[in-house]
Amino acid sequence: MFYYVLKYVLLGPLLRVAFRPRIEGLDHVPGSGAAIVAGNHLSFSDHFLMPAVLRRRITFLAKAEYFTGPGLKGRLTAFFFRSAGQIPVDRSGKEAGRAAIREGLGVLDRGELLGIYPEGTRSHDGRLYKGKVGVAVMALRAGVPVVPCAMIGTFEAQPPGRKIPKLHPVVIRFGEPLDFSRYAGMEGEKAVLRAVTDEIVYAILSLSGQEYVDRYAADVKAEEARKAAESRRFPRLPRR
C-alpha cells in the first residue's frame, strides 16, 4: 500500500517536477505478466525514477547495506527501501549470486516485474560495463521477456558521491522486449548465459549511447581504488 502512496503522492510527483523526465518506449513494458526490466545504472536516483514512470509496480534487487544501518535512521532507511519495492541481497560470499537469483525468481513466479542492473553495481564514470550472467539465468529459468532500459542524464544529475541531485534533463528509454525462448532449458550452459547477457547489455548500449567497457565494473572500481591507495602510500617525488 505504501508503495503506491510513495509513487503517486509523495516521491513520484516530486521526481517528475524535479527531473521532468522524457519517457520513450513505455509501451514496450508488458501491461501484465512476469518480465524483467534490465537497465544501466548511473545514479542512486535510478532506483526511484524508473518506478515513478512505470504504470506497474516493479521490484528491484538492492544491496543489503541499504537495509542494515544502525539505530533509528537505519530502520527508517530499511522501511523506505522496502516500501519502494526493493529486496535486500547480500552481495558478498559465494552464495550471494544464488541468493539474488532465488529472490528474483520469486518475484517472477508471482507474475510481477523485476528490475535488474546487469552490471551489478553503479557505473562510477558514466560508461557501460560488462554484464553479469544472473539476469540470463533468471530470464531462461522463468521463461520471461527482458525489456532493456536506458537511463540517460541521471549520472550528470547525481553522480557518485553527490547526496542531493541537481536539476538536469533525464530521458528514460525502453526498448523492445527480448525473447530468449530459443534457449529454453539451456540455463546451465555458460556460453549460452554469456551470449544472452551480452545481447541484453548490447540492447541497453544501443538505447543509451554510452561508451562500453568489456570488463566488470566492480573489478575496475577495485583496481582504481588499489592504485589510489598505493599512490597515497608511495607518492611520486617531484622531478628536479
Q: Is residue 236 part of a domain?
A: no
pTM of the model: 0.86
* Long-range Cβ pairs for the range 177-184 (8 Å, 24+): 177/28, 177/30, 177/35, 177/145, 177/146, 177/147, 178/145, 178/146, 178/147, 178/148, 178/203, 179/145, 180/136, 180/139, 180/140, 180/145, 180/146, 181/143, 183/140, 184/140, 184/143
Q: Is residue 225 part of a domain?
A: no
Q: Is residue 48 part of a domain?
A: yes
CATH number for position 71: 3.40.1130.10
Q: Is residue 237 part of a domain?
A: no
Q: Is residue 134 part of a domain?
A: yes
pLDDT tens across the length of the chain (240 residues): 556 666 555 566 666 766 778 999 999 999 999 999 999 999 988 888 888 889 899 998 877 676 667 777 667 666 766 766 677 776 665 566 788 889 899 999 999 999 999 998 899 999 999 999 999 999 999 999 999 999 999 998 888 777 777 878 899 999 999 999 999 999 999 999 999 999 999 999 999 999 999 999 999 999 988 988 887 776 765 665
Residue numbers of the domain that contains 106: 2-215
What is the count of structural domains for the chain? 1
